Every structure is written in C-alpha cells, then in structure tokens.
C-alpha cells in the first residue's frame, strides 16, 4: 500500500510540476496568438487604406487637365521672375510698354492658408492696348485681384496705367 501511495504522490507531483512549468509557456503562446491577430487586422486595415488611396488616385487621373489649370492658377512656389515675365509678355502682346514692375509688399499668408503677393505695374499705351492687357489678365489661368487702378491721359492718344494687383500661391 505504501508503494501505491508513493507512486500516486510522485505522479501527482510530476503532473503539478508539469502544469507549473507549462502554464507560463501556454500563457505566452496565447499572448503571441493575440498579437498575431492584431497584426493581421492592422495589415488588413492598411491594405484597405492603400486600396482606397489607389482608387482616389485613379479618380484624380480623370481630372488631370483641370488640376493642371488649378496648379497654374495657384502655384506652390510663387516664382517672381516667372510672374514678371508673364506680365512683361502680356504687356508686349497687348501693345503696352511696361515702364515699371515690382513687388509692393512682401509675401503674406492670409486666413485661408494662401500666400498673397502684391505687385505694381506701370505701363503706357493706347486705350485699346490697356483694355486688351486687362482682358488678358482677367482671362489668364493665374489669379489676379486688382486692388487699385488708375489711368492718366498722356500726350495724344497715349495713356498711362498704374495698376496694383494681388496674386496667390499655396
């Protein structure tokens, strides 16, 4: 009888020791499985997000021409030489002589996040040339807000135009 009790005690002690040694490993395994499930969900979420981005990119490709027009109307970097060249060419195209051209105020950011650049233009030419210059500015892809405008009569049919305008970039 003593032998059976000793065997039972040894068996129970081996089982208990096995449980105490294996239980922490079992908990670690369960923790790893939950972390794997979380990572799988995260990968699935990121995959869905990338699919949505690809769909949005494809949708935007349909509007490339319109977006190019917006980019030219509101450029990211306000390139003053490009802006001055545009005004110089527009004045020459309409028959005006650009006498002075400059920035009247440095760049400033307004409440909508747009950068404003205020420019001044002094020209001379015929009434028709001034009118055509203003029409070209109005129809240009670049946004111009004319803040002040004055025309003075010069000699004969020559008029002087002083113009202050704002243009924008983002």
Our count of domains for the chain comes to: 2
Domain extent for 35: 1-62
Inside any domain, residue 128: yes
Residues 6+ apart with CB under 8 A from 144: 137, 138, 165, 166, 167
Inside any domain, residue 129: yes
Domain boundary among 18, 42, 62: 62
55 and 105 co-located in one domain: no
Burial class (CB in 10 A: 0-12, 13-18, 19+), 119: buried
Tens digits of per-residue pLDDT, 60-101? 888 888 777 777 666 666 677 888 888 899 888 988 988 888
CA distance linking residue 163 with residue 105, whole number of Å: 14
% of the chain beyond a pLDDT of 90: 19
12 and 87 co-located in one domain: no
CA distance linking residue 105 with residue 117, whole number of Å: 7
9 and 37 co-located in one domain: yes
Tens digits of per-residue pLDDT, 9-34? 888 888 888 778 888 888 899 999 99
24 and 1 co-located in one domain: yes
80 and 164 co-located in one domain: yes
103 and 56 co-located in one domain: no
CA distance linking residue 129 with residue 137, whole number of Å: 12
């Amino acid at each position: 009888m003593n032998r059976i009790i000793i065997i039972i005690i040894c068996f129970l002690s081996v089982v208990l020791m096995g449980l105490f040694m294996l239980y922490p490993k079992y908990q670690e395994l369960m923790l790893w499985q939950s972390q794997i499930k979380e990572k799988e969900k995260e990968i699935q979420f990121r995959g869905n997000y990338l699919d949505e981005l690809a769909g949005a990119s494809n949708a935007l490709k349909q509007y490339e021409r319109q977006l190019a027009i917006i980019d030219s109307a509101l450029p990211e970097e306000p390139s003053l030489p490009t802006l001055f060249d545009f005004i110089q060419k527009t004045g020459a195209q309409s028959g005006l002589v650009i006498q002075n051209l400059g920035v009247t105020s440095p760049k400033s950011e307004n409440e909508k996040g747009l950068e404003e650049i205020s420019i001044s233009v002094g020209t001379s030419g015929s009434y028709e040339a001034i009118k055509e210059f203003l029409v070209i500015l109005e129809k240009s892809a670049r946004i111009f807000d004319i803040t002040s405008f004055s025309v003075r009569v010069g000699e004969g049919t020559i008029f002087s135009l002083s113009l202050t305008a704002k243009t924008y970039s983002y």
